[in-house]
Amino acid sequence: MTEASQGIGNCDEVDSAGTDSDEKKLNLIRERLLADPSDAEALSRAGALLFKLGRYTEAIAHLDKAIFSCRCPLCEDNGMSGGAGAPALDADQSRREDIDLHYGTLIQLADCHAAVSDYQRSQRCYRAAVSLAPDRAGAYLGLGALAFQAGQIDQAQRYFNAAGKLQPGCAEAYGGLAMIHQQKDEHAEAFEMYLKCLELDTDNLVALLGLFQTSCRMGNFSKIVHYLEVYLDEHPSDTSVLFCLASLYAKENRLPDARRTVLKVLTLEPDKTEAAELLSELDEALADIDDRQNAMT
């Protein structure tokens, strides 16, 4: 839902194993936790990896422990910290790092609860993150996504606007506002928001498909073709995007390009009915062009 690992501190053991699988990274962190089961940073890292692996229940357990072990000012004030006897924080930088860790853990925990459809707990975690760091965008993005999913469109818009003000140039805020405008049938506004999102994050598939949908409603295809092509440079096997691009080529009367692209779709996904139908239409159109040209010679 959000960039859930934002704010979680560095872990040298994980970084050194950057080319290994997530399971191997997780095992390294577990070795670290054997030495210190209350290591909040390691618990947060483990939770983030477990979330990535789709093991949400385990992720929640680790992240809950990380919150309990946290030493940030919020936990100290509320008596939540389990770190009694820990060295006193003697610098603002240390306190800031603890706040960063707690904030990132709360965001990750909120994402985990949302992944198992526990939206009430997810919302509580996002709200706690707002209380901890009201000047950061991440929790507002999460609250906006929850509100949008619940059909609370105006509330979602307020959250996404708040995130955009706190973090100018936030691709996720633009993407959220684009979905809201699209939901309201404000296609021109949605188109502009999707464009801004993709200018910042060309790899955003949700924004890409949203831009495709609004382009079709508006009959404006020139910009979306570019972004589809850019996306496919990095993801050449994405048949959904390939089919979108083939359809747009056909609408722009670029029939050879459309045929070549839809053939790629059918090579990757031979049973895709829509692609087979489009290929048949393209073959008929190209045959008609050949017949007309032959009749003129």
Q: Where do the structural domains in the chain lie, given as residue ranges?
A: 1-133, 236-297
End-to-end CA distance of the chain: 60
- pLDDT at residue 85, as a whole number: 33
Tally of CB atoms within 10 A around 220:
14
Q: Using CA atoms, how far apart are residues 20 and 193, in angstroms rounded to an integer?
A: 37
Identify the pLDDT of residue 217: 87
pLDDT at 81 over 60: no
Average pLDDT along the chain? 85
Quote the pLDDT of residue 73. 59
User: 87: pLDDT confidence band, cut at 50, 70 and 90?
Assistant: very low
- Taking the C-alpha atoms of residue 34 and residue 71, their distance in angstroms, rounded to an integer, is 20
Q: What's the whole-number mean pLDDT along residues 40-67? A: 92
Of 54-63, 149-158, 285-294, minimum mean pLDDT range: 285-294
Q: What is the model's pLDDT at position 95?
A: 72
Query: Do the domains 1-133 and 236-297 sit in the same CATH topology, yes or no?
Result: yes
Residue 76, pLDDT score:
54
Cβ of 135: how many Cβ atoms within 10 Å? 7
For residue 89, pLDDT over 70 is answered with: no
Q: State residue 235's pLDDT score.
A: 92
pTM, full prediction: 0.76
Residue 63: Cβ within 10 Å count: 30
Q: Which of 3, 4, 113 is nearest to 56 (CA)?
A: 113
Residues 134-175 pLDDT 10s: 999 999 999 999 999 999 999 999 999 999 999 999 999 999
Residue 284 has which token pair? 């008929």
Q: Can you give the pLDDT at residue 190?
A: 96
Q: Which residue has the higher pLDDT, 84 or 227?
A: 227
pLDDT by residue (tens digit) across 1-19? 554 333 333 333 333 333 3
Biggest distance spanned by C-alpha atoms of the chain: 93
Whole-number CA gyration radius for the chain: 24
Q: Report pLDDT for 294.
A: 78
- Cα gap 149→147, rounded to integer Å: 5
Distant-in-sequence, close-in-space partners of 285: CB < 8 Å, separation ≥ 6: 255
Mean pLDDT on 81-95: 47
Running DSSP on this structure, what letter comes out for residue 86? P
- pLDDT of 88 strictly over 80: no
CATH class of 1-133: mainly alpha
Task: Please state the rounded mean pLDDT for residues 105-126.
Answer: 96
**In this structure, which topology does domain 236-297 adopt according to CATH?**
1.25.40
In whole angstroms, give the CA distance from residue 8 to residue 107: 10
Give tens-digit pLDDT for 178-199: 999 999 999 999 999 999 999 9
Query: How many CB atoms neighbour CB 70 within 10 A?
Result: 26
Q: Measured at the alpha carbon of residue 81, what is the angle toward residues 80 and 83, in degrees to the nearest 5? A: 160
